[in-house]
A and B are shown apart, each in its own frame.
Chain A
């Protein structure tokens, strides 16, 4: 089985995802979805996405943190320092109310998109 690397962000590490990109905002959406389960640190987020997708999706770790910080600046996430499961200082991210709303909107959009793609791909 091949592994997809989510969001090779090299060219626009800093850039906002652009509308119209097919996968635009996909990483953001995955992060938001992951955090819907509760507060997590960056490493856990990467691991969870990887394991939950049965290792189909592998987050490029270098791109993860800029995305997290950008979402924090946008007010979709809150960050707090806490103690990790192995007793180390770690930064935990949590969805804000705005983040929840954004997640709902993203999920909606994604479902419509995948449905559309599926319909086209399913034609004979």
Chain B
């Protein structure tokens, strides 16, 4: 242990090195002078006195060295010297440094960003206390092997399983209109049952949580605000407690603030919620499901349950199974408890999201591998160039360990530089992610404010791999016998690195080409309806107060009429296609006593909808302006639904009943099938039914579709003006073109394809550069041999060919080597991205041929330097 005094003295010696060295010399010189004087006083002559003094003192150099070492910093000082030496080397060889650092920075930046994303999506705590003791409960349809959410009666029954669970909560996130000083704004609210805070184990940052008393019918409306609302709207003032906020025309009193960043356990459910409200007020805000508390068909709630201490997920599942056999709405349904670690996504999307993350990890890993092979091959070339330096140092007695250490430190310094250079890239990537939808149509709400932990982990991985990449070159360079003149080693290892780079490039090229082909294919698949030239926007004419059903219909019809005057067509719909919502249909048939129950996708649409989207009618009629509450209830089905419900029969005139509706609807028309998903999943057309918008119990809010004469977004201003004329502060939001909406799911694939494409380009460039460099190096080293061959009559062309052939062989070897990771990459790609085709043998062969010829060209370019070799000059010099 060093005392403080010792550290100070050592530091002084370190920072005032010159003074210290002089002091040591002076002290020894003084002693010698005194002793010499002493000897002279005893009668010796000057020369003898000096010799005697030295003899008595001993080896001054060694003692001085001992004194210096005593205050040195040992290996730390050596390390520092190595670092400084490495920095000087970088300054001296800027080209080499740039060639090593840039690819590494790219790769490390990607890795850091990807790890940060993986962490945010899979591992970062959600704020739920002791998540291991919490389970999410979903309804699972065995027949369709699909996950559904739960109904309120389900929740009530599951809450009663109090021998295995301590508390349970149901919640749903919905869009609400919040009246603020600058008008009404759509925001997300999470409606929760009374035990939500207890089950999730969260305590508000300020104020009180919601309790069971707040969730009783007739309870005073209270709400908790999100932390960011508190921060941005109330400047974190405690006066938020007791403030009122108008949500959908209901005045809520704010009683608390949620913990910072808390957004619940489910990450892929709309965007962030701003308010948490008791579920008891659901019907005051959303009148569509009037009796949801008694309908098992209204499966709209998410559920979480906190297990009793000692209870296991398995015991909970057993209790759920027993319950389901008694109460489930269909024998096909069971309740499934998922551990909270698997409940960060709606279960159906989890696997897809994880596969997408794997794809990103694979891409960044490939980038890292490419950069490391590049680094290793560059280091090897440079070690060869520094052979004189190394030989000299070995001859002077430097230990091999010391040399290897210095090489590794130079390598580490390069990697640290690359890390520093990668930071802006990593930050830019993490900032860009949240805009990219992770699962189809749903973007993820994750806090990606530069997480240093995850970013740092990615960087450490990058740093370690790059240092490891330097070990082989370092060992190779310092091997050898000092006495023998060091013969240049065969470039076998470097050729191997070049081949490995080609292999990486092969993998990246095959995957990028497949992915690119897939994305191109997806973009061009006809959807079956015309998305081009259509503007969609959400509008809510209720503007904070719920108008009566008649008033809402009048406003909606007026809006339709006014927009139609100014555009090429307009229609209203509940959801923009492709909507994922399903309803349960009861199909009455003559021969069966009980109706057949089938879930199908559905949408509420106004008249003019099919015409606007150019969806052709196959039979019957479309939806007419007259289809309203007072006329006969009707429905239009698509061809797939007709085939599913009445195979081989004419559907027109048949009846079906929507669950929760009192009377049956008559099928009046059949429309052509369309693709409701933009991604190229080779699936049979989905059954879909369209119900007349104006036969709906509640109209608001809706999506207005406008076919515009010119660029759709230019119409936004006109639309806002028209809406403002009808309902002064009604919000119009989420304005976008239908093209963009329909393509939204493609975005992540485009991003992945672009990343893979850029990566493969980088890989090919690095591989080509590596082959060129090693070829040029070999020519330079074997100049004498080449000169002799030419001098004794070889044709330069033949010599060039023999050198270029080596490049070709490296290319071929690399391509063959690359087939294994490429096949693996393709398999990963096919499992994570739907619709990616199988790569044929010809595909691999073509990629291999491209790479091999690129390698041969690079080697040829390097070998063409041979033409410049003048045998006479070379041999004279040698």
Contacts and interface: CB of A to CB of B under 8 A. Distances in A.
Contact of B23 (A61, A75, A91): A91
Interface string B66-106: 11011100000000000000000000000000000000000
A69 B23 CA distance: 12
Nearest to A44: B34
Contacts of B28: 65
Interface string A37-63: 000011100100000000000001110
Interface string B28-71: 10110111010000000000000000001111001100110111
Contacts of B56: 61
A43 B31 contact: yes
B144 interface: no
B5 interface: yes
Contacts of B10: 73
B309 interface: no
A70 B6 CA distance: 9
Interface in B8-33: 9-10, 23, 26-28, 30-31, 33
B264 to A, nearest CB: 60
Interface of B is mostly: helix
B143 interface: no
Interface range on chain A (Cβ under 8 Å from partner): 20 to 34
B71 A62 contact: no
B3 interface: yes
Contacts of B3: 74-75
A18 interface: no
A66 B71 CA distance: 11
B5 A73 contact: yes
Given A66-B63, A72-B9, A61 B30 contact: no
A88 interface: yes
Contacts of B69: 14
Interface string B647-685: 000000000000000000000000000000000000000
A62 B27 contact: no
Contacts of B71: 69, 73
A90 B70 contact: no
A73 B9 contact: yes
A62 B56 CA distance: 8
A42 B9 contact: no
A84 interface: yes
Contacts of A75: 3, 5-6
Interface in B518-535: none
Contacts of B9: 72-73
B534 to A, nearest CB: 82
A102 interface: no
A86 B34 CA distance: 9
B35 A43 contact: yes
Interface string A1-39: 000000000000110000000000000000000000000
B323 to A, nearest CB: 75
A72 B9 CA distance: 9
B31 to A, nearest CB: 5
Given A14-B70, A72-B9, A61 B31 contact: yes
B72 to A, nearest CB: 11
B5 A62 contact: no
A119 interface: no
B404 to A, nearest CB: 26
B57 A61 contact: yes
A70 B3 CA distance: 12
A89 interface: yes
B27 A91 contact: yes
B178 to A, nearest CB: 69
A89 B26 contact: yes
Contact of A14 (B30, B34, B66): B66
Nearest to A88: B30
Given A43-B35, A72-B9, A89 B58 contact: no
Given A14-B66, A72-B9, A73-B9, A88 B58 contact: no
B6 A42 contact: no
B33 A62 contact: no
B30 A84 contact: yes
Given A62-B62, A66-B67, 12 more contacts: A62-B63, A65-B27, A65-B31, A66-B70, A69-B70, A73-B70, A74-B5, A75-B3, A86-B34, A86-B37, A90-B30, A91-B27
- Nearest first, the 5 closest Cβ-Cβ pairs linking A and B are A62-B58, A75-B5, A43-B34, A73-B6, A61-B57
14 contacts: A42-B27, A42-B31, A43-B34, A61-B56, A62-B59, A65-B31, A66-B66, A72-B9, A73-B5, A73-B6, A81-B23, A84-B30, A84-B34, A91-B27
Interface of B: 3, 5-6, 9-10, 23, 26-28, 30-31, 33-35, 37, 56-59, 62-63, 66-67, 69-71
